[in-house]
Amino acid sequence: MKTAETSAEVATISKIRFGDPVTALAIGRSSVLHGSIMGRIVHYSLDTKTEREVVDMSNEMVREITLSNDGGYYYIANGDVGWHVLAENGLYPLRTFNVEVKGCHVDVCERSYTFQAKGQNCVIVLDSEDEENNSTGVVTA
C-alpha cells in the first residue's frame, strides 16, 4: 500500500498581541483579515506581503469575519451592536453600521449578539418580558 505525501507551506503573516487573542479570521482571494478580542482588525495582502492595521482597538470584540458572496468585501461583526464593511483589497473607507437599540448600550450588551450568514448581517437582542424571573424572552432583529 502506498501512502500519499502531503505538504503545506507555512508563513507568518501577522504578529498577535499578548492578551489580545484572534477571535475571527477570513481568507479572501488576495488577502487575509483577522480580528481580536480587543477589537483590533488587521488586513494582510497576499500579493504585496504587507500588513495594515485597519482598527487598532475598539470597545467591542470582533466576533466574526465573512466574505461577501462575490468575494469583494469583508463583513466584520463588531461586538453586539453592528458591523463593519471593508473592501477585500483592504482599501478605505471602512464603513461602519450600528443598530440603534432602545436604552443605552450597557442595558443590552449582555443580551445581544451580532452574527452573519449568507452575506446578511443581523443583530439579535433578547428582551425580557418578565423582569423578575427573566424566564421568557423575545428575539428582535
Q: How many residues does the chain have?
A: 141
Flag whether 6 is in a domain.
no
Report the CATH number that the domain containing residue 33 is assigned in CATH.
Answer: 2.40.128
Flag whether 134 is in a domain.
yes
Q: Per the omega criterion (within 30 degrees of 0), is the bond before 21 cis?
A: no
Flag whether 15 is in a domain.
no
Residue type for 121, please? N
Reading phi first (left if > 0) and then psi (alpha if -120 to 50, else beta), residue 139 is in beta
Contact between 77 and 115 under an 8 Å Cβ cutoff? The reply is yes
Domain that holds residue 50: 22-140
Look at the block and give the residue holding cell 432602545.
Answer: 102
- Give 52-106 pLDDT, tens digit per residue: 888 888 878 888 888 887 888 888 887 776 778 888 887 767 787 777 666 655 5
Which cell numbers in the block locate residue 36?
Answer: 481580536
Q: What is the pTM of this model?
A: 0.71
